[in-house]
Amino acid sequence: MSTVITASNAPAALGPYSHAILAGDMLFTSGQVPLVPETGKLAGESIEVQANQVLSNIESVLAAAGMTFANVVKTTVFLTDLADFAAMNAIYATKFPENPPARSCVQVAKLPAGAKMEMEVIAVK
């Protein structure tokens, strides 16, 4: 049995998918790009601004499921340029100051809405 999680303060989905699915105690989020929920537009051009927005969006989805970054056990980060890794990593680390989750980070050719970054997480209650 699974439950669809919709976060009212995260950007609307760009396609036929849910913000997240709660399956038992496990939460699987869809990838979040740096769209501002109120406008549906890209947060900004820099990786720093985009990373902050992505993490804010993820935080909203986690909260809608009654979770926080402390519940996250795995993340996957997609970057359009691995040269942005260090800057993204510095911002990412602020949300996981201790015992960070397992993570994969890959470079991709392109992301929705012209984003430089997308992230998805798996969390456990």
Based on the number of CB atoms within 10 Å of its own CB, is 22 exposed (0-12), middle (13-18) or buried (19 or more)? buried
The structure tokens listed for 8 are: 């009212």
What is the β-pairing status of strands 72-79 and 102-107? parallel
Q: How far is CA 42 from CA 34, 45, 84, 95, in A?
A: 6, 8, 17, 21
Please pick, among 105, 113, 119, 125, the residue that the annotation labels catalytic: 105
3-state secondary structure of 66: coil
DSSP code of 104?
A: E
3-state secondary structure of 72: strand
Active site annotation includes 93: no
List the catalytic residues: 105
